[in-house]
């Protein structure tokens, strides 16, 4: 092969490598986008669970406070 043909073949191979790299990168980016979406959904579900937990905690804390108040009233009345 003459030098001009060799250069063209090398250029073509380099171009093909770049296309392959671009396709791989695009596939990787799309995979990362899907993973981010999944993580966002999971985070939303965890936030909802945390909110429910906090609500239950506050409710139970109020129940304990009322029981303490009732017990204090009972013991104060017996003395």
Q: What pLDDT score was predicted for residue 19?
A: 66
Q: What pLDDT score was predicted for residue 4?
A: 78
Write the DSSP string, 11-34. Answer: HHHHHHHHHHHHHHHHHHHHHHHH
Tokens of 8: 């063209």
Q: What pLDDT score was predicted for residue 17?
A: 74
Per the listing, tokens 């909110």 go with 51
Total-model pTM: 0.57
pLDDT band at 68 (very low <50, low <70, confident <90, very high): very high
pLDDT tens digits, residue range 7-52? 778 877 777 776 666 677 788 899 999 999 999 999 999 999 999 9
């Amino acid at each position: 092969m003459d030098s001009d043909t060799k250069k063209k073949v090398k250029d073509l191979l380099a171009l093909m490598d770049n296309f392959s790299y671009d396709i791989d990168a695009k596939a990787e980016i799309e995979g990362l986008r899907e993973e981010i979406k999944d993580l966002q959904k999971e985070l939303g579900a965890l936030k909802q669970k945390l909110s429910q937990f906090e609500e239950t905690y506050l409710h139970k804390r109020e129940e304990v406070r009322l029981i303490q108040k009732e017990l204090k009233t009972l013991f104060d009345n017996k003395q």
